[in-house]
Amino acid sequence: MSLLKKSKHALVILLLGCAGLGFVLYAWQLPPFDSHVARTENAYIRGQVTAIAPQLSGHVTEVAVQDFQQVEAGDVLVRLDDRKLKEAVAKATAALDSARASLQGNAQAIRSAEATVTARRAALASAEAQLAVAQSSWDRYARLKEHEVVSASAFDQAELSLKQAQAAVDQAHSAIAVAEESVAGARLQSSALAASVASAEASLELARIDLGNAVVRAPESGRLGQVSVRVGQFVTAGSTLMSHVAPQTWVIANLRETQVGGILPGQRVSFTVDALGHETFHGAVERFSPATGSEFSVLAASNATGNFTKVAQRVPVRISIDPGQPDLEKLVPGLSVVVEIERTSAG
């Protein structure tokens, strides 16, 4: 009898072991329970959730939206105190007007300097003509002096006139050089003034951009999350005011590495949504992650130490959702889904 009891106990233990093994094989969809359908509950609706933040600091003067409100691209969400920014625009505008006036004044100075050069050249021509007359007169008096027909005082006067005419010519040349330097200096200053105008225009544009940033607008159509900002609150650049959720959604299914065999982009997918009473939706495989989920973790696991236990990794798969299905607007990011993908083979 004791031998029979031991046999029964061994049989029960064997049956329990087989049942446990069968359960594990079924749970992991391993042979002989592997299926052409890859199924996972580790899947969620994803979407574009954007944190709305101001680009500058200031006090909030208006909050134009409420929690979970539908907005369109460009709608005003929040306004900041813009009094200083308007004054900055006015100051930059005045600086630009001053720079432009200086540039125009410099252009007038260039024209005046060029006119002075023309006048100096005319004076040179007159001085050269007077020099020619004085030279002719001196030559005549010199010949007369050789025959002692003219007095010494008259000859000296002619020589003095010649020297004065020569000095006038030299002075005219110097005056032209000075006038030409004035033109060059005015033109050089024109480049600096033009740069000042460009700088003033850039400063005005920056002031206008800051003034525009005092109004926070919706980046695109969608719905808002909870609005945490309040009127009178002081906010800093980059601080989150609210979240914006775009209408586009998709599914990220984290499949076990043993399930991805036979799954290709474009294959049809069906999934049910827990929050909608397991309502069924349809889509298609878009693409696979370039690495398993563990590779993207902050602290990557190291398998090169101690004993090793093989753990099946998860491969994220992006799934597009077919348009035109009922209740698509109810698919919001974060909802849990159950995904089923018909594989081309058992892998």
Domain boundaries, the chain: 36-49+245-342, 83-214
Low-confidence stretches of the chain (pLDDT < 70) are 1-6, 8, 22-35, 138-139, 141, 143-152, 154-156, 158-159, 162, 295-306, 308-309, 345-347
Res 94: pLDDT: 95
- For 174-206, give one letter per residue: b (16+ CB within 10 A) or e: ebbeebbebbeebeebbeebeebbeebeebbee
Token pair of 283 as six digits: 């889509």
Residues 6+ apart with CB under 8 A from 235: 54, 57, 58, 59, 60, 80, 229, 241
C-alpha 220: how far from its chain's center?
Answer: 17
Res 347: pLDDT: 40
Triad 177, 182, 187: Cα angle to 5°: 125
Res 80: pLDDT: 96
Domain spanning 83-214: CATH 1.10.287.620: yes
pLDDT tens readout for residues 50-104: 999 999 999 999 999 999 999 999 999 999 999 999 999 999 999 999 999 988 8
**What sign does the dihedral 44-45-50-51 (CA atoms) show?**
negative
Res 337: pLDDT: 94
Residue with tokens 């000095």: 167
User: How does DSSP classify residue 294?
Assistant: G
Q: What's the chain's length in residues?
A: 347
Residues 6+ apart with CB under 8 A from 339: 38, 39, 40, 43, 251, 253, 269, 270, 271, 319
The 3-state secondary structure of 134-186, one letter per residue:
HHHHHHHHHHHHHCCCCCHHHHHHHHHHHHHHHHHHHHHHHHHHHHHHHHHHH
- For 289-298, give one letter per residue: b (16+ CB within 10 A) or e: beeeeeeeee
284 DSSP β-pair partners = 268, 320
Residues 6+ apart with CB under 8 A from 318: 250, 251, 252, 285, 286, 287, 288, 289
Domains 36-49+245-342 and 83-214 share a fold: no
Res 141: pLDDT: 62
Contact (CB, 8 A) for 36 and 345: yes
251 DSSP β-pair partners = 45, 319
Residue with tokens 């006036």: 101
| CATH level 3 topology of 36-49+245-342 | Elongation Factor Tu (Ef-tu); domain 3 (2.40.30)
Please state the pTM of the whole predicted model. Answer: 0.66
Res 108: pLDDT: 79
